[in-house]
Structure 1
């Protein structure tokens, strides 16, 4: 029987594509791509009754909605004078421009570019916004001030889909960059459209912009993100913002508590700034989750909201957590970028947790925020160890930051039991890392107490013996890059094919059993669930005596990694590397008690190996599998000696390129960061691998 053909739509007669905006004709009820019938997504909301090109011949043009007010997001609401003004509407913008605010001069730190250094910020802190009137000395390179919106189109490409905000409705839609450029140059603009989330790192325009030195040197992503990370590197450093006069963005905190650099190439912006005190953050969270948020000007709810005018050629740096709104007082082009850093770790984490509580969609959040925190924790552990070896006291911001990080990492691990999406990267042993960081902090606190008691104190940062910026943190930054490099240089030693030994046969059998059960590689030996226990248990029992007869048991598993009950994980996934699945659905964690079942299964399977060992030819008994063929089986049992415990690669494809604004139906974007990734092979011998599993079995611990 022939399959029914997929329904076809539009004048182009194509099947439905979820990534393209469509509109329905109210006469013939057929659906049309907006781009095929010249209807932009933001324009569609103004149409009351839509007539497609075929139907408008007979029925006339589409009927438009009638405007009844200028102060509500829904301008068709009748204006009875009882409804409050909503943010972004023309009435709101006019009222905002007529208000007076305390000047930001009270809080802004005015500096010259060459003064904005890592050393300065480490010493003075980065708690207040900085304004730099001239470009000189920042290391910031930009196109000339003659660079136009048309030039952006030329460098980025007219087909680039951009997120556009309809300011009067405070609503997102998508359009091609060329359509926005056409709109921008119209002599009369029927509405206010604003582009604030065009990230151009993956375009030719990226070559025209070099971010400020300070953002480059302090950035977590630049310093700590390994080149071989399974997750794609976050692109949040190069945004081009194109706003027309009267554009307005309501109060917000930049994602993940990132700090921001911001430069006005031409035009003017006005920032409304609120300090991130405990009280203000609590008020902000309540306001953000209130049903009438758009009707309440958040600046009225706090003790002080500062007004900061940013003219052409000026750069501002906004620190972690500052709550701000932005008004575009005249047509404007600006460049900006976001970065996480070590100076305000606690505040960054607080902002991230607030985003979680507010159920902020992923596309509004810093991409892979938790993953970068794990990378940072691993590197800061090395920094603390090096400082201790040099008998140096770390700066207070680092100690406090690490404490906040430990608390967050512990909470995320606990949450992983009930929530599936894991962002613990490869090469990281989470429990051990937390344990070692806690140890370093405890050691520091003991040193401080003994120092207060009169014994020889540690040298403090900034004293002659311990210059933090030039020596320790530069070394830490170098160490971070070295660690990132080291993590990608564990290569498998290839040996000539040989007849498998008994130990290898045992391992191959276990792998084949797991493969038949379609268990995918998620994390090392965590995949041994109660489904696999019969063979796994026997496997341990039979090999135990062999290994005790003189084979040193190899294991890189610390006690901290095998804490707690006997727990296991199973991955709910069977797709191949070429069939990507969203990470949010991968790696469902199933916890099971397994001690009793293990001993029971040992008894049931006692005769298994005896029946197998009677085979005359071991390679025939195992089909055509060889040790090298088995290397691609789902169970990873081969960590390199002396290296950190590694998670096995999964086939989960990461989400696409990050964006500041929501992006339903995002068009697919190729991401180089995930291409060609294969699991890393270790160098352990079969005996060592089996020894590791054996040790786990003796301790009744499978969870690494």
Structure 2
């Protein structure tokens, strides 16, 4: 196998990343850094002589300048060719032109006003200017920070992209060479550095991006740490431009929004709205062969001029077409970020870049990959909003629709252009299907809401999270886990429990009565306190673990019982009713308060001894009472040993052939009905059961209430 050819005086093999120049005498190739020729200088050389040939043939021959208004300054200066963007003639003419003031479109704000809540409510459609950094959360070096300081923090060997403004051409050079150029008393060219991303350097510690950019950024919120693709770094740029630097009209890559802060110097922005017509004109202009000869601002209705002075921060939204002129030597910091507010526009800008065949160097890194990550997270957000009966904001719904369309097109394109950026752990077809399903749910809810049914909560409700970035990470994970558990255990719609129906009925009755509370019954309160003290002594460890909940539960039971029982008794005296009605009302209150304890079937007819005095229902070592509901079987009534029952104060025992068993101590608050297993027992009211009799062996409402009423009349009712 033949050895790779060696080049240059350093005798190394070819490296595509390094600039090289060919000697026109010996036809050998040399690294520009080895022969002290910068890439931007090479275009000025007409005939190059390498150091060896220079001795015999003399120095290299340079090109002669024939004009000052063309990118190729060797063209004859006959004045017949149009002025091209970036040339000295162009810059001079641009500075003499007049434009509408950007005050017509700029939103003047203070730093503390630029919040995610504000942008989600008002939208992020117009540029924002902030005269001072206070309240923005933006941290920057002092205004005395210089270009030499940048070299110190970033490193002189750092290769930076440099724009030759007069030719509007990009080249590479070491940072130390640019610094030398910058401090020359006479600069032969206008060079501009606008893409020095320094997140991986020591200078990153000196700059903290604005809070709004961090909170809304897709990269910050959705890019996983274990991603196969390298994380895009686009949030920290240092821009160093000399006077008369010019960047022609463009849209920032991927339709990203951008923040700029002028540390010192001055920049002038020429802004154009991203309307449908303007975007179409921009794409046609960008793909035209005479693009550099046409000032795009002349092709639209309005091009606004915005002067950004020292200390000012500007936020430019998605899709805004803009050009930038550096009117004096300037250092600025900026960054780009994708977000949820303008998803459709971001996708449109990306597709435009593809049609224009924009080089990867000038595109957002792994744009499609981050869109898949965002789609996965937005699916979780939509599910949570639907479960909370919250309607997502319009910008999020429209953004997800646009995202679904883009993801489908990218999958189809994979057939002919296999350059997939789909993350390995994402199932693309399933993800698209589930997102489509969530959008269909939303549309159905909106249609049913328009038809007069119960509407969903509005997007302005404080209980409804708007975007994933507004959620606490731990809280979001907990809610997602809970949802998955609920989905796993409940595949069918949940049947309302007896307690839920009774609680709703009782609330409706009390609302109609509208009677004030009665005074507490002191003897009864004393009895409850004594009972609680007895339980506390017998089970100090259990009380210490849940003291707050226990006290709250006991006091709640006391208040409910002491208020409701005299209330119902008084109502019965004033308005005589049948014993059945009184008993049902009392049991409804006791059931809602969690104080009702059903007795064993065999004791329902002859029980003279209070159920709480039975040793089978008290744990000798813990002093706790066990409450059971939803089943009349022997397992449900605690036929297990007292020690075993005491050791399991809360249990769900899905025994074969029996209902779920629910057990809890009286010193622990009962679970909310929505957290309990759905019982298979029929509803207790005739209206709910439509006249059907309860299952055999189950006590009816009247039977249980009769027992409770007898106990209360004989003053035997205790907690």
Determine if the TM-score, normalized by the shorter chain, exceeds 0.5: yes
Distance 2:685 2:187 in 1: 34
- Write the mapping of 1:427-442 to structure 2, written as runs, cut at 5 A: 427-442=425-440
The alpha carbon displacement at 1:16 in A equals 2.3
Q: Secondary structure at the match of 1:618?
A: coil
Q: Indicate conservation of the 8 Å contact 1:227/1:484, yes or no.
A: no
Measure how far apart 1:80 and its partner are: 1.1
Q: Which one of the candidate residues 584, 588, 591 is aligned to 2:616? A: 584
> Which stretch shows the higher mean deviation, 36-45 or 617-626?
617-626
What's the C-alpha RMSD, in Å, of the aligned pairs?
23.0
Deviation sequence 1:479-530 (CA, Å, 0-9, x none): 5999999999xx9999999999999999999999999999999999xxxxxx
Superposition deviation, residue 55 in structure 1: 1.9
Q: Gapped runs of 5+ residues in structure 1? A: 525-532, 561-565, 586-611
Q: Distance in 2 between matches of 1:155 and 1:578?
A: 89
Residues 213 and 511 (structure 1), Cα distance of their counterparts in 2 relative to 1, 3 Å cut: closer
8 Å CA contact 1:230–1:649 kept in 2: the answer is: no
TM-score where L is the length of structure 2: 0.66
- Report if the CA contact (8 A) 2:536-2:543 is conserved: no
With over 3 angstroms needed to count, the CA separation of the structure-2 counterparts of 1:386 and 1:113, relative to structure 1, is same
CA contact (8 A) 2:245 2:326 kept: yes
Higher share of residues assigned helix? 2
Q: Aligned equivalents of 1:579 and 1:26: distance in 2?
A: 116
Aligned to 2:21, what secondary structure does the other structure show? strand
Deviation at 1:665, TM superposition (A): 72
In 2 relative to 1, CA 288–456 (structure 1 residues): closer, same or farther, beyond 3 Å? same
Q: Which moved more, 1:535-544 or 1:55-64?
A: 535-544
**3-state DSSP of counterpart to 1:570:** helix
Distance 1:423 1:633 in 2: 52
Deviations 1:527-550 (A, max 9, x none): xxxxxx999999999999999999
CA contact (8 A) 2:498 2:684 kept: no
Change (3 A) 1:270 1:460: same
**Distance in 2 separating the partners of 1:60 and 1:623:** 108
Q: Structure 1's 333 and 511: CA in aligned 2 closer, same or farther, altered over 3 A?
A: farther
Give the one of 621, 636, 640 matched to 1:621. 636
From the CA coordinates, give the structure whose radius of gyration is larger.
2
Could you give the per-residue CA deviations for residues 11-56 of structure 1, whole angstroms, max 9, x where no partner exists?
A: 2222322221111122222222111111101001101111122222
Residue-by-residue CA offset, 1:566-587 (whole Å, 9 max, x unaligned): 9999999xx999999x9999xx
Q: Contact 1:553 / 1:691 at 8 angstroms: preserved in 2?
A: no
- Answer yes or no: is the 8 Å Cα contact 2:67–2:76 preserved in 1: yes
Decide whether the 8 Å contact of 1:234 with 1:368 is kept in 2: yes
Q: What count of residue pairs does the alignment treat as equivalent?
A: 658
Give the stretch that moved more between structures: 279-288 or 365-374. Answer: 365-374
Report the CA distance shift for 1:452/1:474 in structure 2 as closer, same or farther (over 3 A): farther
Structure 1 residues 512, 468: closer, same or farther in 2, change over 3 A?
closer
Aligned to 2:684: 669
2:106 is aligned to: 108
Greater alpha carbon shift after TM alignment, 4-13 vs 472-481: 472-481
Give 1:418 shift. 1.6
Deviates more, 1:52-61 or 1:477-486: 477-486
Higher normalized contact order (CA 8 Å, seq sep 6+, divided by chain length): 1
Supply the distance in 1 between the matched residues of 2:331 and 2:717 (Cα, whole angstroms). Answer: 56
Alignment CA distance shift 1:140-1:480 (3 Å):
farther
CA offset at residue 432 of structure 1? Answer: 1.2
String of CA shifts for 1:649-675, please: whole Å, max 9, x gaps: 999999999999999999999999999
Cα–Cα, structure 1 residues 115 and 83, in superposed 2: closer, same or farther, change >3 Å?
same
- Whole-angstrom distance in 2 between the partners of 1:630 and 1:120: 56
Distance 2:683 2:174 in 1: 14
Where does the alignment leave 5 or more consecutive residues of structure 2 unmatched? 551-555, 563-604, 618-626
Partner of 1:165: 163
Secondary structure in structure 1 of the residue aligned to 2:307: strand
Segment of structure 1 superposing worse, 204-213 or 470-479: 470-479
